[in-house]
Amino acid sequence: MVRDLIIESTALTKSYGPHVALDSLDIKIFQGATGLLGPNGAGKSTFLKTMLGLIQLTSGEGKVLGFDIRTQGDQIRQRIGYMPEYDALNPGMEAIHQVRYSGELIGMNPNIALQRAHQALEYVGLGEQRYRQVSTFSTGMKQATKLACALIHDPALIIADEPSNGLDALARNFMLNTLETTVKLGNRSVLMASHLMDDVERVCDNIVLLHKGKLAAQGKIEDLKAIDREVEIHVWGAASKMEEALSDGGMNVRREGRIMRIGHTGDETYNQILQTAANVGSQVRRMHDHEASLEDLFLVIMERLGHEVKSSDDLLGGV
Amino acid sequence: MSDVPAAEISVEPPFTPAEAKEESFGADTPVTGQTKMQAAWSADSGDTDSSAQVASMNEGQIFEQIYQPWSGTLNPRWMRNWAILRHHVLGIFKKGHRPWNVPTKLFIFFVIIASMTDVAMALLFGMIGDTTLYDIWGVSRDNMYGHVMGFFPRNILYYPIVAALLVGGMISEDRSHGTSAMYFSRPINRFDYAAMKFLSVALILIFIINGTLALYYFVDILVMGKGWAWIIDTFPMFIATFICGILLSVTYTSIGLSLSSVSRGRFFPAIGLIAILMGTRSMAAIIDGLFDKSVLYVISPYDAVAHVCQAMIGTEMTYDHPWVWSLISVVVMNGLALYLLANRVSSLEVTRE
């Protein structure tokens, strides 16, 4: 199936004086759900602002939904629903009027905006709460209201900046379900910036990974996971000898107790492992391909970039 | 004809009727229905288990999340700007728009009533036919100037305080609540945003100052049965005063909004505006009293506008320096305030504030 290209950039560069925030990005994002990842300071916010047509590029070009980000920012923002990471709601307004007003700011007729606000709030699960003031809402309800504001005009692309930020398990689950439904049943596209790898993995099929303003990786998550393929074994006896022998044999080994993960270099890897086990007198009680998570993938990419990241939690610490 | 005997055809209802039942659940209960979800997202402390009416059916859910597309047309730029203007102005009178607080609404109501004291007095003495008192309160050059530019009580208790209450959170609250993102992630540019905010405040002030001025003038015509000669004679004065009202409103608005744009709360812009208006005037008055030099009044926004208005309306000048200096001062003050406003509005963020 040929999917539509919704975001495309060629040599996109944005500098603030000597600081290069985005460095010659060549990005292609197709219809569907895409996760935008990267440590703090990687350029995610700058990238989102350029996609909204809000800042002037230093060089390069880009298109969103076929519109030029340098000259057609208004058209782009009419077709995008942006859900900001931080509070963007007037606490003194009722949810229904907040969402209606956000529709009017897009250019919707007030009556139609009101009608759509009812539908959007119903969709995000706030149907019965729509006449409550935003100040009385929990964090989850505020996030849902922001999503309703983004969805009111049925945008072709929803940019969700940390949509599950500060949500408890139930609200997070509902938020992610809603985004999934919007993509799969609503046939809309979502560009989701998040620090939470599990969330991105659940909603998105594709990722774009930025690092220090440069494109570190982009593509389908499944394809990218192949760069971090490992075989996991559970050994019994002589585990240290086994680890040493595998390392001496030129294999990449990570060990935690009896469990080892060995870099998959080809089909011969399985035989090499079994042969080594036989040589050192260790029992391999279980052997299977390890399914890497997005977090594993992220760590591998960062490692290759020479970036000192131990876990996705480090991303939140301003590395 | 079918070979199946009629008795063997099973007739089943298309679905099992749902029966309502009370269900309690805790934090780890999966969210499968709308009411459960709402209970899960409720704003209570979370210490108590919520309950919700859910269907007894195992199949299906009460809350079916259906994405509803919309394919309407979007209005052009001027309609978006109209929405911003309406949002702010209608909030004074109606729910569903910008939530102005009750003290602001009450004070505006009080000022509108208080600004009409000259209307009431002119009406009263015109109707009872007391010419001496009517001459004091009726429409005249000085009285029209006084309606707009009179210092006490109008430009110390009424208009500056209304302006301060209006501009207080106008931009600063967009910064503190993050609602600037709601504007700039939509096809609203910075100029339209600032211009509509400016117009919203200025229109409310103009409605109060010039609306009551127009009422004063036209009530006098109607009650006293003024003829065309009187109207032709006084109408230029009325227009000049009307323009003065606009100048005063614009000056208060531009200074107030510029203060609002550099702040994150509503207190600083409000108190800052009053401090600038009263502080500069007090200082100029002290210098004038000590050294008999009125030139320092050019730094007082109120006095600069008042001086220009005296020249426009043709009342007796109360300042010694040329009125053109005051005009230049008004232009410079507005220019600086608008420059600051534009500069700060351009710094409002979309992704984070």
pLDDT of A229: 81
Of A37, A74, A39, residue with least CA distance to A307: A39
Q: Provide the angle, in degrees to the nearest 10, between the axes of the packed helices B159-167 and B102-115.
A: 150
pLDDT of B22: 54
pLDDT of B59: 46
Subunit contact A86:B181, Cβ cutoff 8 A? yes
pLDDT of A258: 87
3-state DSSP assignment of residue B323: helix
Subunit contact A93:B185, Cβ cutoff 8 A? no
A193 and A50 share a domain?
yes
Sequence-ordered list of residues with C-beta below 8 angstroms from that of A227, at least 6 positions apart, any chain? A297, A300, A301
Query: Burial code of B223-257, b = ≥16 C-beta within 10 A, e = fewer?
Result: bbebeeeeeeebeebbebbbbbbbbbbbbbbbbbb
Mutation pick from A22, A44, A96, A170 vs chain B, by most beta carbons of B within 10 Å, is: A170
Q: Is residue A151 part of a domain?
A: yes
A177 and A138 share a domain?
yes
Question: Residue B43 is nearest to which of A52, A75, A138, comparing CB atoms?
Answer: A138
Subunit contact B187:A106, Cβ cutoff 8 A? yes
Subunit contact A185:B66, Cβ cutoff 8 A? yes
Question: Residue B351 is nearest to which of A45, A90, A144, comparing CB atoms?
Answer: A45
Of A26, A139, A124, A217, residue with least CA distance to B37: A124
Of A31, A34, A62, residue with least CA distance to A47: A62
Q: How many CB atoms lie within 10 A of CB B93?
A: 10
3-state DSSP assignment of residue B50: coil
- Could you give the angle at the alpha carbon of A94 between the alpha carbons of A92 and A97, nearest 5°? 115
Residue that is last in its domain, among A224, A243, A263? A224
CB of A302 closer than 8 Å to CB of A211: yes
3-state DSSP assignment of residue A47: helix
Of B186, B87, B350, residue with least CA distance to A101: B87
Question: Residue A54 is nearest to which of B31, B75, B184, comparing CB atoms?
Answer: B184
A51 and A81 share a domain?
yes
Taking the C-alpha atoms of residue B299 and residue B302, their distance in angstroms, rounded to an integer, is 9
A246 and A195 share a domain?
no
pLDDT of A40: 82
Question: Residue A107 is nearest to which of B42, B76, B87, comparing CB atoms?
Answer: B76
A236 and A220 share a domain?
no
- The residue of chain A with its CA nearest to that of B190 is A54
Subunit contact B179:A89, Cβ cutoff 8 A? yes
Q: Is residue A306 part of a domain?
A: no
Q: Tell me the two tokens of residue B86.
A: 């309406």
Subunit contact B67:A49, Cβ cutoff 8 A? no
The interface residues of chain A toward chain B in range 199-228, judged by CB-CB distance below 8 A, are none
A150 and A280 share a domain?
no
Residue that is last in its domain, among A189, A224, A259? A224
Q: Is residue A300 part of a domain?
A: no
Question: Residue A84 is nearest to which of B67, B187, B351, comparing CB atoms?
Answer: B351
Mutation pick from B92, B97, B350, B353 vs chain A, by most beta carbons of A within 10 Å, is: B350
Which amino acid is residue B318, in one-letter code?
Answer: T
CB of A248 closer than 8 Å to CB of A213: no
Taking the C-alpha atoms of residue A268 and residue A249, their distance in angstroms, rounded to an integer, is 13
Is A92 near chain B, with CB under 8 Å? yes
A133 and A43 share a domain?
yes
Subunit contact B74:A107, Cβ cutoff 8 A? yes
| Range of the structural domain that residue A204 is part of | 5-224
Taking the C-alpha atoms of residue A13 and residue A260, their distance in angstroms, rounded to an integer, is 43
3-state DSSP assignment of residue B30: coil
A98-134 confidence digits (pLDDT tens):
999 999 999 999 999 999 999 999 999 998 999 999 9
Is A79 near chain B, with CB under 8 Å? no
pLDDT of A266: 84
Specify the DSSP element, H or E, that contains A212. none
CATH number of the domain that A245 lies in? 3.30.70.3400
Q: Which residues, listed in sequence order, are joined to residue B55 by a DSSP beta bridge?
A: B20
Q: Is residue A267 part of a domain?
A: yes
CB-CB neighbors (< 8 A) of A45 in chain B: 351-352
A116 and A164 share a domain?
yes
- The residue of chain B with its CA nearest to that of A82 is B185
A287-309 confidence digits (pLDDT tens):
988 877 777 777 777 776 665 54
Q: Tell me the two tokens of residue B269.
A: 């812009």
Distances from the Cα of A245 to the Cαs of A60, A256, A263, in angstroms? 51, 16, 14
A100 and A159 share a domain?
yes
Distances from the Cα of A66 to the Cαs of A9, A54, A134, A166, in angstroms? 11, 16, 35, 34
State the nearest Cα–Cα gap between B254 and chain A, in angstroms.
24
User: CA torsion angle for B93, B95, B96, B97 (degrees, to 10)?
Assistant: 30
| Distance spanning both ends of chain B, measured CA to CA | 76
Question: Residue A105 is nearest to which of B66, B97, B188, comparing CB atoms?
Answer: B188
Distances from the Cα of A195 to the Cαs of A3, A265, A295, in angstroms? 26, 30, 10
Taking the C-alpha atoms of residue A6 and residue A143, their distance in angstroms, rounded to an integer, is 25
A45-96 confidence digits (pLDDT tens):
899 989 998 888 999 999 999 999 999 999 999 999 999 988 899 999 999 9
Residue range A10-36: average pLDDT?
93
Subunit contact B186:A75, Cβ cutoff 8 A? no
B91-112 confidence digits (pLDDT tens):
999 999 999 999 999 999 999 9
CB-CB neighbors (< 8 A) of B68 in chain A: 119, 123, 154
pLDDT of B198: 98
Of A215, A224, A205, residue with least CA distance to A47: A215
Q: What is the ipTM of this complex?
A: 0.83
Mutation pick from A90, A165, A174, A188 vs chain B, by most beta carbons of B within 10 Å, is: A90
A214 and A241 share a domain?
no
pLDDT of B99: 94
| Distance spanning both ends of chain A, measured CA to CA | 39
Q: What is the CA radius of gyration of chain A?
A: 23
A–B CB contacts, 8 A cutoff, strictly below: 160
Bigger pLDDT: B4 vs A180 = A180
Mutation pick from B35, B182, B200 vs chain A, by most beta carbons of A within 10 Å, is: B182
A207 and A242 share a domain?
no
Q: Which long-range contacts (CB under 8 A, 24 or more apart) does B126-130 make?
A: B126/B220, B126/B223, B126/B224, B127/B223
A209 and A81 share a domain?
yes
Subunit contact B350:A54, Cβ cutoff 8 A? yes
Subunit contact A104:B80, Cβ cutoff 8 A? yes
CA A1 to mean position of chain CA atoms: 23
CB-neighbour burial class of residue A9 (10 A; exposed 0-12, middle 13-18, buried 19+) = buried
Specify the DSSP element, H or E, that contains A195. none
CATH number of the domain that A11 lies in? 3.40.50.300
Of B275, B108, B296, B342, residue with least CA distance to B208: B108
Q: What is the pLDDT along chain B (353 residues), one digit of tens a residue?
A: 444 444 444 444 444 445 555 555 555 555 555 554 555 555 444 454 555 444 444 444 556 788 999 999 999 999 999 999 999 999 999 999 999 999 999 999 999 999 999 999 998 988 888 888 888 899 999 999 999 999 999 999 999 999 999 999 999 999 999 999 999 999 999 999 999 999 999 999 999 999 999 999 999 999 888 899 999 999 999 999 999 999 999 999 999 999 999 999 999 999 999 999 999 999 999 999 999 999 999 999 999 999 999 999 999 999 999 999 999 999 999 999 999 999 999 988 776 54
Q: Is residue A134 part of a domain?
A: yes
State the nearest Cα–Cα gap between A92 and chain B, in angstroms.
6
pLDDT of A54: 84
Q: Which long-range contacts (CB under 8 A, 24 or more apart) does B328-331 make?
A: B328/B298, B329/B298, B329/B299, B329/B304, B330/B247, B330/B251, B330/B301, B330/B304, B330/B305
Taking the C-alpha atoms of residue A247 and residue A273, their distance in angstroms, rounded to an integer, is 11
Q: Is residue A302 part of a domain?
A: no
Domain ranges for chain B: 1-72, 77-345
Taking the C-alpha atoms of residue B329 and residue B300, their distance in angstroms, rounded to an integer, is 9
pTM: 0.82
Mutation pick from B32, B54, B65 vs chain A, by most beta carbons of A within 10 Å, is: B65
- The residue of chain B with its CA nearest to that of A193 is B351
Domain count, chain A: 2
Whether A199 shows a pLDDT value over 70: the answer reads yes
Is A47 near chain B, with CB under 8 Å? no
State the nearest Cα–Cα gap between B170 and chain A, in angstroms.
12
Q: Is residue A121 part of a domain?
A: yes
Q: Is residue A238 part of a domain?
A: yes
Q: What is the CA radius of gyration of chain B?
A: 31
A229-265 confidence digits (pLDDT tens):
888 899 888 889 999 999 998 888 888 888 898 988 8
